[in-house]
Amino acid sequence: MDARSSRYQEVYARWQRDPLGFWGEAAADIDWFEKPKTVFDPKAGIYGRWFSDGVCNTCFNAVDRHVDAGRGEQPAIIYDSPLAGEKRAITYHRLLTETQVLGGMLRDLGVGKGDRVILYMPMVPEAVIAMLACARIGAIHSVVFGGFAARELATRIDDATPKVILSASCGLEPGRIVHYKPLLDEAIALSKHKPDACLILQRPQSEAPLIEGRDRDWKTMRDYALIHARNAWDCERMLATDPLYILYTSGTTGRPKGVVRDNGGHMVALKWSMKNLYGVEPGEVYWAASDVGWVVGHSYIVYAPLLHGCTTILYEGKPIGTPDAGAFWRVIAEHGCSVMFTAPTAFRAIKKEDSQGKLFAKYDLKKFRALFLAGERADPDTVIWAENLLKIPVLDHWWQTETGWCIAGNPAGLGALPVKHGSATVPMPGYDVRIVDEGCHEVAANKMGSIVVKLPLPPACLPTLWQADARMRESYLDEFPGYYKTADAGFKDDDGYVFVMGRTDDIINVAGHRLSTGGMEEVLAAHQDVAECAVLGIKDELKGEVPCGFIVLKSGVNRPPTEIEKECIALVREKIGPVAAFKLAITVARLPKTRSGKILRGTIKKIADGDSWQMPATIDDPVILDEIGSALKGKGVV
C-alpha cells in the first residue's frame, strides 16, 4: 500500500475546502421526496442540523428503490444461523413485501409517525424487517439487545415510552436457550409506562404463553395482514431531521443515555462510507459480524449495506463453538463475502483456539479482499496474526455509538494507506480530529491527550440525546468548548495518524506519569503464549495507581503460568521502562466481557480496588467476575 496511490488526501482536502459542497454532493446519492436546499443550518439544534429542509424516507432508500431499479431478485439478506440450524436468503422484492406488511401490522396496532417502538429481538430476519418497517411508517425504533436483564429493559421502556414492543419467545446461545418472554413480562411489570401491545415471534426452539389482551402472535397477525392489501403501507414522508431511531448506550442505574439518529444525514454518511471507506460495490456480499442490538448492527448489518444495494449477512452464531474456530471462514466462503467487519475480540478468540490457522486452510476465500476491525483497540499482535493468515488488508478503524460511523479509518475505497499497527489511521471527511490537554489546548505530535472533534459533527452523528438536550451538552460539549468530547485518549503522529490508546479513564497516573494501559496491553499481547490481555490501574498508597495485567494463555500452552507472568513483567519493563511500575501479571482462564466482546475493565478495576460495584447489564457470563476475584485474592490484591 502506497500513500501516493490513495485519493484520501485529495478527498479530505476537498472536504476541508468546501464542507457544504462535499456533503451536498454526497446527498445526491440518496433518493429524496424533496431535495434539501440547505445542506447545513448552523442555527438549528444544539450545534446545527444537516439537510434540514429535505424530505425523505430511509426504508424507501434501503428497499423500495432497489426493487424499482431492477434489483428485486438480488438477495438483500442472507440469514445464517448455526444455532437454529437454518439458512435462507431474502430478496429485495421479498424484503419489500415483508416490510410493507409489518408496517401495516404496526399501523393496525395504532403506531403512527413519531411513536416509539421497542425491539427486543434475537438475530433473526424479523428484527431487520421490524427496523425497516418502523422507518417506513415514520415510527422511531429503539432496539434493546436481546437477553438484556429485565430491569435494564424496564429503564428503556420508561425512557422511550413505546406504543408497541416487538419481541420473540427466545434467543439462542451455544448450549442454551435464552427465554426472552419472561424477561419482557417482568420488565413491563417493573416499568411505569405500559405499552399498548406486544407482538411476539414464536420460535420453534421454545414457544411462550401470550398474555390475553396485550400480546399478539406475530405469525397469525402477519398471515392475516398478508391477505389484506390495505396493509401494504407506503413510505411516510419524513424530514431529514426527524428521528429514525434511539439507541441506548448505558445506564444500569438512573436514566439511560438515548442516542438519537436522524434520517437524512444518517443515510448520506452511511451510503458514502460503503464505497469510499469499505470499498464495496452494490450487489456484493458484505458482512458485519455483530448484533442488531449494537450500533455496528444498526449501521452495518442493516442500514448501510441495504442503502448501498449490497447483500448483507445476518449471522446467528459465534466465532468459535458454532461449531469450531473455522465458523467465520465457512460463512465467508459459502456466501462469497467480499468485505467483513468485526471486533478484534472475535479474532483473538479464533487465534486462541486455532493459532496455526489449520481450519482456515479448509475453505476457499477467493472473493474475500478486506477485513475491518473496530469496537475496541486492535492490538498489533492480533492484526499481524490476521494479516499473515489471510494475506489481505486488515484495517483497524475507530468510531462510537454516538457517531454512527467511522471517525478515523483506512479508506480502502479511496486506496488504502500504509498500515501502522496500533493506529486507526486517519480522520474521515467530516471529522476535524484534535488532541488536546485539560485546558483544551492542542498538544504536540506524539503526545498523549484527550481526543476531540471540532464542531460541527458530520452527518449521521447524534444531534442530541432523547429528550435530554441539556444532558447532551453536559456529556459531550461543555468540557471542551467548540468540540465534541470522545472520552477517548490517544495521540496523532507526525503523519497525522490517529492512535486511540483507550478511554480517558484508562489513562493511569503512576507517580505523576500519565501512562496508557493500551500501550502496556500491546506489549503483553506480543508475548508468544498470550492469547489476550487487559491492563488497568489499581489503587496504590505510594504511587496513586499501579498497573495490573490480566493475561489469558493460548490453548495448548503447558508452561507454568508464574514463569510466563515473570516474562510479561520483564517485557513491559524492557519496552516501556521502569516508569510503568508494572510488577503484577495475573493469569486467568478468561476475561469478563460484554456480549459485544468488550472487556469489562471498569468492573475489574472496582473489584481490585475493593470498591462497590454492580453486575454489568451487558455481561456475557457473570461467573467470570468470581474467577477474577479469586485470582486477585490469590495474588494478595484483595
Give the whole-angstrom CA distance, residue 89 versus residue 303: 17
Task: Please state the rounded mean pLDDT for residues 275-296.
Answer: 96
> Residue 577: what pLDDT?
72
Interaxial angle between packed helices 517-525 and 561-575, expressed in degrees from 0 to 180 and rounded to the nearest 10: 120
Give the per-residue SS3 of 74-117: CEEEEEEECCCCEEEEEEHHHHHHHHHHHHHHHHHCCCCCCCEE
The three-state secondary structure class of 293 is: coil
Q: Say if 436 falls within a structural domain.
A: no
> Residue 97: what pLDDT?
94
> Residue 3: what pLDDT?
63
Half-sphere exposure of 49 (CA within 13 A, CB side): 22
CATH number, residue 580: 3.30.300.30
> Residue 139: what pLDDT?
98
The three-state secondary structure class of 596 is: coil
Give 67-112 pLDDT, tens digit per residue: 999 999 999 999 999 999 999 999 999 999 999 999 999 999 999 9
Q: Say if 334 falls within a structural domain.
A: no
C-alpha cell at 158: 420508561
> Residue 250: what pLDDT?
61
Give 7-26 pLDDT, tens digit per residue: 999 999 999 999 999 999 99
> Residue 509: what pLDDT?
67
Q: Say if 358 falls within a structural domain.
A: no
Contact between 421 and 383 (Cβ < 8 Å): yes
Is residue 503 over pLDDT 80?
Answer: no
Task: Please state the rounded mean pLDDT for residues 512-521.
Answer: 73
Q: Which residues have C-beta within 8 Å of that of residue 307, sequence separation ≥ 6?
A: 30, 58, 61, 62, 267, 270, 271, 274
How many domains would you assign to the chain?
2
> Residue 376: what pLDDT?
78
Q: Say if 93 falls within a structural domain.
A: yes
Give the whole-angstrom CA distance, residue 223 versus residue 216: 12
> Residue 427: what pLDDT?
98
CATH number, residue 171: 3.40.50.980
- 499 strand-pairing partners: 491
Q: Say if 192 falls within a structural domain.
A: yes
C-alpha cell at 598: 468488550
Boundaries of domain holding 202: 82-236
Give the whole-angstrom CA distance, residue 575 versus residue 569: 10
Is residue 229 over pLDDT 60?
Answer: no
Of 175, 162, 181, 78, residue with least CA distance to 122:
181
Looking at every residue in the chain, the average pLDDT score rounds to: 93
Q: Which of 236, 271, 299 is the last residue of a domain?
A: 236
- What percentage of the chain exceeds 90 in pLDDT? 79
> Residue 71: what pLDDT?
96
Half-sphere exposure of 594 (CA within 13 A, CB side): 23
Give 359-391 pLDDT, tens digit per residue: 999 999 999 999 999 987 788 888 999 999 999
- What's phi and psi for 486, nearest 5 deg? -80, -20
Q: Which residue has the cell 485546558?
A: 439
Residue 251 pLDDT class (50, 70, 90 cuts): very low
Residue 614 pLDDT class (50, 70, 90 cuts): confident
Give 164-217 pLDDT, tens digit per residue: 999 999 999 999 999 999 999 999 999 999 999 999 999 999 999 999 999 999
Give the whole-angstrom CA distance, residue 181 versus residue 510: 48
Give 425-468 pLDDT, tens digit per residue: 999 999 999 999 989 999 999 998 999 999 999 999 999 999 99
Contact between 479 and 452 (Cβ < 8 Å): no
Give the whole-angstrom CA distance, residue 584 versus residue 582: 6
- 530 strand-pairing partners: 553
Residue 252 pLDDT class (50, 70, 90 cuts): very low
- 124 strand-pairing partners: none
Give the whole-angstrom CA distance, residue 532 versus residue 520: 12
Which amino acid, one-letter code, is at 259? V
Give the whole-angstrom CA distance, residue 27 versus residue 49: 14
Q: Which of 236, 256, 274 is the last residue of a domain?
A: 236
The three-state secondary structure class of 241 is: coil
Q: Which of 207, 236, 265 is the last residue of a domain?
A: 236
Q: Say if 140 falls within a structural domain.
A: yes
The three-state secondary structure class of 369 is: coil
Q: Say if 2 falls within a structural domain.
A: no
Q: Say if 524 falls within a structural domain.
A: yes
Give 518-544 pLDDT, tens digit per residue: 778 888 999 999 999 999 888 887 777
Q: Are strands 311-315 and 394-396 parallel, antiparallel or unpaired?
A: unpaired
> Residue 618: what pLDDT?
76
